Amino acid sequence: MAARQETVARVASIDVDAYKYGFFTDIEAEKAPKGLNEDIVRFISAKKNEPQWLTDWRLGAYRRWLTMAEPNWAKVDYPPIDYQDLHYYAAPKSTPGPTSLADVDPELLRTYEKLGIPLREQEILAGVETRRVAVDAVFDSVSVATTFKAELARAGVIFCPISEAVREHPELVRKYLGSVVPVTDNFFATLNSAVFSDGSFVYVPPGVRCPMELSTYFRINERNTGQFERTLIIADAGSYVSYLEGCTAPRRDENQLHAAVVELVALDDAEIKYSTVQNWYPGDSAGKGGVFNFVTKRGDCRGRNSHISWTQVETGSAITWKYPSCILRGDGSQGEFYSIAVSNGRQQVDSGTKMLHLGKNTRSRIISKGIAAGRSQNTYRGLVSAHRKASGARNFTNCDSLLIGSQCGAHTVPYIESKNASAVFEHEATTSKISEDQLFYCMQRGLSEEEATALIVNGFVREVLQKLPMEFAVEAQKLIAISLEGSVG
């Protein structure tokens, strides 16, 4: 293995070239002019034929945003973002709004095909062994297709672009929008509230178990365009839904801004499983390009014995700033956070969760696996808190970090605040390197150094991978292997 030096050199030069979703779709787009002001906010609202209350809601957010400062406490370092140098709205011209599949531009369908996302219902039906998945595809600022809507409607499940929900189900949107992540929440969430473009809306009525996985695929295509999607999922009493989001973007030299907001509401005895496979373009080896991912995701276990679980596999983005959290408001409610964050090249990840125990006998569980390679920095940041009234609150946290090579960093920043003496919080953390012993042992059995690394890493993250829906676990496993290509050493 004289290859050690060689491998180190390769890591240094790795250009995360394995990113295979870096293509650009040449499709005519309608864009708002660059920059952000009240007229742009009104323009976006008008484009979507929104009612006055929503226009006012956006404007309120925009005015608030003007008074706010970008947060700087995360362990990420990036050049200042010029918010006036971005387009806040872009839509493929041929798609005036959500349409039936037959009306979708074939170029767009081909794009999603290339991404491996089935948008044709009959093709999915033809598949023998796979479970069916309903997909909402969001291309830049608009949703271009949603599959299986009719079948879901028969079960009473509403799954549609949020812009459509605003028109068709205003009472639901008005009741829940901003009820988990308030307009004033934080710099990026407030910006999103002002300019959010599209995203998915899900409502599962009382007692209904959603008959299939729901999934949204986000694609940033246009140059210099921010993506600000907004997702709202409501699981009414006694219902269940499993939802997956996937994200990709073309490879570009300049950075792309992504500031999404996801709100989940679980009422009495309801359960929401939310899984993410995030694969935004991470930038090249020198740190040029890549997506800036500033995302606010929060679930509100509003009802008794409700249950929200976040599972995320994060391999992309130049900067990740993301803390999917649970407000454990209902007595006996449960929150979970399972995360695999892989960083390579010059990626910077600052991610984790917040578990806020408000109700009695609330439980939460955090399993975080960070893998740092190349020259990346990977931070877990988490807060577990118990309110005065949260008697019997329990949390278990386990944060493991794995380092590959010697030029990366892994950091764990846990915060624990307990105002109730009966709360029991446990925290475990480890940081390890893939040992020479393990590598040599695997290689002696015939595995190449890369295969050995992938195998060891897969063992490291297995506990979390098992939480993903089956189809996506396989995808995630491949993604992790690709993200770490050339990272051994």
Partner 1 sequence: MLEIKNLHVSIGDRKILEGLSLSVKAGEVAAIMGPNGTGKSTLAYVLAGREGYEVTEGEALLDGENILGLEPHQRAARGLFLAFQYPVEIPGVATMTFLKAALNAQRRARGEGEAPTPDLMKRVRAAAKGLGVDSEILKRALNAGFSGGEKKRMEILQMALLAPRFAILDETDSGLDIDALRVVADGVNALRAKDRAFLVITHYQRLLNYIRPDTVHVMARGRIMRTGGPELALELEKNGYRDYVGEAA
Task: By CB under 8 A, name the binding residues for partner 1.
Answer: 1, 3-4, 435-438, 440-449, 451-452, 455-456, 458-463
Looking at the Cβ atoms of 154 and 445, the one nearer to partner 1 is 445
Sheet containing 394-403: give its strands across.
142-146, 133-139, 213-219, 240-248, 271-278, 307-314, 334-343, 363-372, 394-403, 424-433
Q: How far is the CB of 6 from partner 1 (least distance, A)?
A: 11
CB contact set of 135 (below 8 Å; sequence gap of 6+): 117, 118, 119, 145, 146, 147, 148, 215, 216, 217
CA distances from 167 to 29, 40, 162, 232, 412 (A): 24, 21, 9, 15, 44
Q: How far is the CB of 220 from partner 1 (least distance, A)?
A: 34
What backbone phi and psi angles, to 5 degrees, belong to 182?
-65, 155
Q: How far is the CB of 57 from partner 1 (least distance, A)?
A: 47
Residue 383 to residue 162: CA distance in whole angstroms: 30
Q: How far is the CB of 3 from partner 1 (least distance, A)?
A: 7
Q: How far is the CB of 339 from partner 1 (least distance, A)?
A: 16
Looking at the Cβ atoms of 113 and 450, the one nearer to partner 1 is 450
Q: Dihedral through CA 222, CA 223, CA 228, CA 232, nearest 10? A: 30
Write the Ramachandran bin of 317: left for phi over 0, alpha for psi from -120 to 50, otherwise beta.
Answer: left
Q: Which sign does the torsion angle of CA 463, 309, 477, 431 carry?
A: negative
Looking at the Cβ atoms of 123 and 436, the one nearer to partner 1 is 436
Residue 365 to residue 394: CA distance in whole angstroms: 8
CA distances from 410 to 129, 403, 413 (A): 39, 7, 10
Looking at the Cβ atoms of 181 and 434, the one nearer to partner 1 is 434
Looking at the Cβ atoms of 403 and 423, the one nearer to partner 1 is 403
Looking at the Cβ atoms of 285 and 477, the one nearer to partner 1 is 477
Residue 36 to residue 189: CA distance in whole angstroms: 15
Looking at the Cβ atoms of 77 and 436, the one nearer to partner 1 is 436
Q: How far is the CB of 46 from partner 1 (least distance, A)?
A: 53
Q: How far is the CB of 129 from partner 1 (least distance, A)?
A: 16
**Counting every residue, how long is the chain?**
489
Q: How far is the CB of 466 from partner 1 (least distance, A)?
A: 10
| DSSP assigned state of 470 | H
Looking at the Cβ atoms of 233 and 465, the one nearer to partner 1 is 465
